[in-house]
Amino acid sequence: MEWRKRRDEHGEAGEPAADPIASALEHLHRGTSLEEQGDLAGAEAAYRKADALGSGEGASNLGVLLFERGAVEEAEEVLRRSDERGHPMGTFRLGFLLDSAGDAEGAEQAYRRAVERGSFLAAGNLAYLLRQRGDIEAAIPFYQYALHAPDADLARRARNALVNLGALPKPRPVPPPGFDPEHSVLDSILWIGGDPADDRVRRAREFVFRFQIGKVTAEKALDQARMWQAFEEENKAEALLRRGAELGGAEAAFALAVLLADRGETAAARDHFAEAAARGDATLAAEARNRLHSLP
C-alpha cells in the first residue's frame, strides 16, 4: 500500500493561526519543495524543524525519509510522535512501518486509530491484514469504508476484494450504444453476463447459444454448460449436456445424469450414469458406478 504522499489525505488546515504553527507550516512547505527537487538532506532538515514545532505532518514526512534511508528505529520514534499528535497519515505510516517489521498487532492498532481519524489508506491496509489472518467478517467493513476513498485505485481494489469475498455482486457488463447482438459471436459473448432484462443481452445470449449448440463437441460441452449454469440458464446448460452426451462425451453424460437425478428423473439419470461408466476414464467410471448404485 502507498507509503509516500507529499500532501496527504488531511493536511493541517484548521489549526489556530499562531506563530509556531505558521512557522511549522513554512518549514513543512519548504521541506516538500526541497524533496521534490531531490534535495533530501535539505528536506529532512526542514521537516525536523517542523517536527520540533509540533507539526504532525512534519513528523510524518520526516518518518518517511528516515524509513527510506534505513533509519527504522528513529523513523518509528518520529512516527509515534505524529500519531500522538493525532495526524492520520502519520498514524497510517506508523502502522505500515510496524506491519513491515512483522508487528501485526501493533500495525493493526495503528491502522485502527488511523481509520478512526479518517484514513482510507489505513482502512485498505487493515482490511488486507485481517483478511490475511482469516478474519474475513472483520475485514469486510474496512473494505466497504475504503470504497469511498477519493483515490480511484484504492476504491477499485476495495471493490474487487469485496466482489472476491462475495460481499458485492459482480458488476454486470452493459452493452455500448449501437451494439448489435447478432453481429458476431466474439462481440456478443462479451455481453452475455449482463442483465437479462436488457433485450440486447437476451438476444446476445440466444445468438451465442445457437452458435454453441451447432458447434459443440463432446469435449467442450461440459464447460459451455457450466457457463450457462453460472448465468442461471439451466435450459441452455441441459441442452448442451444432452448434445455432448449424444456425441459420446462421458463428462457431459455424467453431469447430465446428476442434473436429472437431482430433478427426480431416476430412469433417465440411470441411463446417463451407465453411459458415463462405460465411456469415462477410471476415476469418472468409478464415480458413475457409485452414483448408479445409489439411485433408488
pLDDT tens sequence across 157-200? 998 899 888 887 766 666 667 767 777 776 777 778 888 888 88
pLDDT-derived band at 236 (thresholds 50, 70, 90) equals very high
**The pLDDT of residue 194:** 82
Residue 3 three-state SS:
coil
pLDDT in tens, 241-292: 999 999 999 999 999 999 999 999 999 999 999 999 999 999 999 998 998 8
Whether the predicted pLDDT of 208 surpasses 60? yes
Say if residue 112 is exposed, middle or buried (CB neighbours under 10 Å; 0-12, 13-18, 19+).
middle
Q: Identify the structural domains of the chain with CATH numbers, from first to last.
A: 19-164 (1.25.40.10), 216-294 (1.25.40.10)
| Average pLDDT over every residue of 117-131 | 94
How high is the pLDDT of residue 8?
46
CA triple 81-87-89, angle to 5 deg: 105
Q: What confidence score (pLDDT) does residue 193 get? A: 81
Which pLDDT does position 88 carry in this prediction?
94
The tens digit of pLDDT for each residue in 127-137 reads 999 999 999 99
Average pLDDT over residues 54-62: 93
Q: Which long-range contacts (CB under 8 A, 24 or more apart) does 285-289 make?
A: 285/250, 287/254, 288/250, 288/254, 288/257
The neighbour count for residue 44, using CB atoms within 10 Å, is: 18
pLDDT given for residue 172 in this prediction = 63
- Give per-residue pLDDT as tens, 91-118: 999 999 999 999 999 999 999 999 999 9
CA distances from 189 to 74, 105, 157, 170, 171 (A): 57, 47, 26, 17, 16
Cα separation values, 143 from 4, 92, 128, 170, Å: 21, 16, 8, 15
Distances (CA, A) of 203 to 6, 173, 232: 51, 15, 16
Residue type at 173 in one-letter notation: P
pLDDT band at 18 (very low <50, low <70, confident <90, very high): low
- The average pLDDT across 212-235 equals 90
pLDDT score recorded for residue 30: 92
| pLDDT for 13 beyond 70 | no
Does residue 11 carry a pLDDT above 50?
Answer: no
Collect contacts of 4-8 with beta carbons under 8 A, ≥24 apart: 4/64, 5/89, 6/32, 6/35, 6/36, 6/61, 7/32, 8/57, 8/60, 8/88, 8/89
pTM: 0.57
* Contact criterion met (CB below 8 Å) for 194 and 219: no
The number of residues in the chain equals 296
Closest to 173 (Cα-Cα) out of 156, 154, 192: 192
Which of the four pLDDT bands, split at 50, 70 and 90, describes residue 6?
very low
Residue percentage of the chain with pLDDT more than 90: 62
Collapsed DSSP state (helix, strand, coil) of residue 103 = coil
Q: In angstroms, rounded to a whole number, what is the distance separating the alpha carbons of residues 148 and 162?
A: 13
Euclidean distance between CA atoms 267 and 33, whole angstroms: 80
For residues 296 and 100, which has the higher predicted lDDT (pLDDT)?
100
Q: What DSSP element (H or E) covers 2?
A: none
pLDDT of residue 60: 94
pLDDT value, residue 252: 94
Q: Is the dihedral of CA 207, 209, 210, 215 positive or negative?
A: positive
